[in-house]
Amino acid sequence: MDTWTCAHMEEVTTFVNQITDEVGSWEEGSAAKSEERGIVQYELEMTNHLEQYREQARENLQVKQKAEKQWKVLLLLSTSSNKLLAKWQGPYTVVQKMGPITYEIHHPDKGKSRQTYHVNLLKE
């Protein structure tokens, strides 16, 4: 879930190059005009453009995160008849990674819909 693939790196590189090209073309066109308008106006325009780019990046990130495939796992849980007898049950959906060794899992059939489990109890 947290690993970067070559495809992710290519997307990030493409996005950074696109923004760099847009900022570069905007700076070239506005460099001559900046002396006429003043430094304060130039800074305000630059700040507005950076806010727009930040918002666009945030929207793109949210769209990508929603489009990613959900991670399904099996859980090693004790049976209802015997607490010492554990079986692989599932598949369940991983909601998020809580820490380096714990994951939050969605349980539709339990009292709590989300519970945290150690990585030793998970199996892909």
DSSP strand E in 2-101: where? 72-78, 86-97
First to last CA, the chain: 12
Give the contacts of 84 (CB within 8 A, at least 6 positions apart): 78
Query: Residue 1 — very low, low, confident or very high, per pLDDT cuts 50/70/90?
Result: very low
Return the number of other C-beta atoms located less than 10 Å from residue 103's C-beta.
22
Q: Can you give the pLDDT at residue 108?
A: 79
Whether residue 53 has pLDDT greater than 90? yes
Contact 123, 115 (CB under 8 A): no
Count of H-run helices and E-run strands, the chain: 2, 5
pLDDT tens, residue by residue, 13-44: 777 677 766 666 555 555 555 556 788 888 88
pLDDT tens digit sequence for 65-117: 776 667 888 888 888 888 889 889 888 888 888 889 998 888 877 777 888 88
pLDDT tier at 47, thresholds 50, 70, 90: very high
Domain residues of the chain, as ranges? Answer: 6-67, 72-123
- Give this prediction's pTM: 0.44
